[in-house]
Amino acid sequence: MSGVPGWKRAQNRMKSASRGLTTGLLTVLGFLSAVGPFATDLYLPAFTDIARDLGASPTGVQFTLTAFMLGLGIGQLYLGPLSDRMGRRGVLLVALGAFTAASCTMVFSPTVEVFTVLRLIQGVAGASGIVLSRAIIADLAKGANAIRAFSLLAMIVAMAPLVAPLSGGLLAEHFGWRGVLATLAGLSVAMFVLALLFVPESLAPEHRQLGGARRALANFAKLGRDRLFVLLALAVACNFAGLMAYIGGAPFVGQVMLGMSPTEFSLAFASGAVAMVLMNFLNARLAGRVPATLMLFIGSCSAALAGLAFATLAVTGTLTVPAYIASAFLLSGGVALTSANGTALALGRADHARGSGSALLGAFQFFCGAIAPPIVGAWGDQTALPMGLLIIVGSVASGASALTVAMLLRRRAND
């Protein structure tokens, strides 16, 4: 059998995976994980144009973002456990193929309702890039190495919010919102090709699980009974919900309230991506030297300060473009610290089923994130107060979870 070319290629992929994470593989996984930022931030500058051309309300357009977030959550719950049973690579390629098809079809959306349905499908399929990239890293790295890998992954992913809004703004100004969606379709093709060429199989056949849906539910139940896993998932998800409140409200706060053009808004939005890159770089350097629980708490405090700034400035009517940019920087940097450390610690509790652990963590994160934009949109497009309040609520819950995790770990160490 070893003489069959296909079998040789499979053997080579397994050998590559067994050597651990390479810089090239981590870069590709980062690009695949960036499906969320690319598919949200790229079209944010076109929100107002979409609402006008499709005759939709601000809430209706924001619900397309919610549909995508729901899809990401649903997809992770299914694709993560499926990869525990069938391996990572095959599941990833099939799902990315579906994501590409949905992205291409979405360019021709005639109504906001069709757009929303396609966004849901896009989210379900695109979840593969997020959940399986995390699972592959968890397969190949442990401890401080995992924290560094997740930080570097997040740093690569953070480049998407740096590039996507600016690109989206320029594309929206010159080619309209359908041109923005066509660009997203092209990126989806690139993701599929990169996965096909460079992502190995990281889960050996002897480590795969049997049992189908029943085994997946058993894994979910076991993780749900793990108090530390639940608290860590809560810390990551609540801060992410605050970030989604900002992302959902930012186009209307920035462009309607503060009068920014799409390009100006994109440049302002990019400040948050810069914060994510910087904080993830710092986090990777400090991994193994500073407790991950402390970094988790610091990230929550940073996000809370940002929410307090947004709410206070909204109430006093003193929100300006520089204050908006500074608050976005604090929020995004805090979320970066929370996400990298919380993810590494949580998946460290899921060694028995990393795909299921990654799925549960990601689904909780995106379900919480999906709730935020409609709440912000319900208040209309003339106030930043709901956005600030939701950021405060999410970051306080995240910080409380981080403190509880630190206390439980210290207590167990002393027992």
Q: Which domains does the chain have, with CATH numbers?
A: 12-414 (1.20.1250.20)
pLDDT band at 381 (very low <50, low <70, confident <90, very high): low
Q: Is the pLDDT of residue 234 over 80?
A: yes
Quote the pLDDT of residue 4: 38
Structure tokens at 329: 């920087």
- How far apart CA 334 and CA 375 sit, in angstroms, is 22
Quote the pLDDT of residue 149: 82
Q: Kindly state the average pLDDT of the residues 203-221.
A: 75
Quote the pLDDT of residue 15: 40
Q: Is 221 left (phi over 0), alpha (psi -120 to 50) or beta?
A: alpha
Q: Is the pLDDT of residue 316 over 50?
A: yes
Give residue-wise pLDDT tens across range 50-65.
888 888 777 788 788 8
CA distances from 201 to 11, 16, 126, 244, 255 (A): 9, 9, 19, 32, 45
- How far apart CA 402 and CA 404 sit, in angstroms, is 5
Could you tell me if 139 and 354 are in contact, meaning their C-beta atoms sit under 8 angstroms apart?
Answer: yes
Q: Kindly state the average pLDDT of the residues 199-215.
A: 77
CA distances from 339 to 152, 354, 371, 403 (A): 12, 17, 18, 15
Quote the pLDDT of residue 393: 92
Structure tokens at 132: 């399986």
User: Which of 134-138, 152-156, 303-307 comes out lowest in average pLDDT?
Assistant: 152-156
Q: Is the pLDDT of residue 3 over 70?
A: no
- How far apart CA 221 and CA 215 sit, in angstroms, is 10
Quote the pLDDT of residue 100: 94
Residue 278 φ/ψ, nearest 5 degrees: -65, -45
- How far apart CA 170 and CA 269 sit, in angstroms, is 14
Q: Kindly state the average pLDDT of the residues 1-14.
A: 40
Is pTM beyond 0.75? Reply is no
Give residue-wise pLDDT tens across range 272-303.
878 888 888 888 888 878 888 899 999 999 99
383 against 153, higher pLDDT: 153
- How far apart CA 211 and CA 216 sit, in angstroms, is 8
pLDDT band at 6 (very low <50, low <70, confident <90, very high): very low
How would you write the chain as a 3-class SS string? CCCCHHHHHHHHHHHHHHCCCCHHHHHHHHHHHCHHHHHHHCCHHHHHHHHHHCCCCHHHHHHHHHHHHHHHHHHHHHHHHHHHHHCHHHHHHHHHHHHHHHHHHHCCCCCHHHHHHHHHHHHHHHHHHHHHHHHHHHHHCCHHHHHHHHHHHHHHHHHHHHHHHHHHHHHHHHHHHHHHHHHHHHHHHHHHHHHHHHCCCCCCHHHCCCCHHHHHHHHHHHHHCCHHHHHHHHHHHHHHHHHHHHHHHHHHHHHHHCCCCHHHHHHHHHHHHHHHHHHHHHHHHHECCECHHHHHHHHHHHHHHHHHHHHHHHHHCCCCHHHHHHHHHHHHHHHHHHHHHHHHHHHHCCCCCHHHHHHHHHHHHHHHHHHHHHHHHHCCCCCCHHHHHHHHHHHHHHHHHHHHHHHHHHHHHHC
Q: Is the dihedral of CA 178, 184, 190, 192 positive or negative?
A: negative
Could you tell me if 276 and 361 are in contact, meaning their C-beta atoms sit under 8 angstroms apart?
Answer: no
Quote the pLDDT of residue 162: 67
User: Which of 76-80, 225-229, 233-237 comes out lowest in average pLDDT?
Assistant: 76-80
**Beta-carbon contacts of residue 2 (< 8 Å; ≥ 6 apart):** 8, 11
Cβ atoms within 10 A of the Cβ of 386, count? Answer: 21
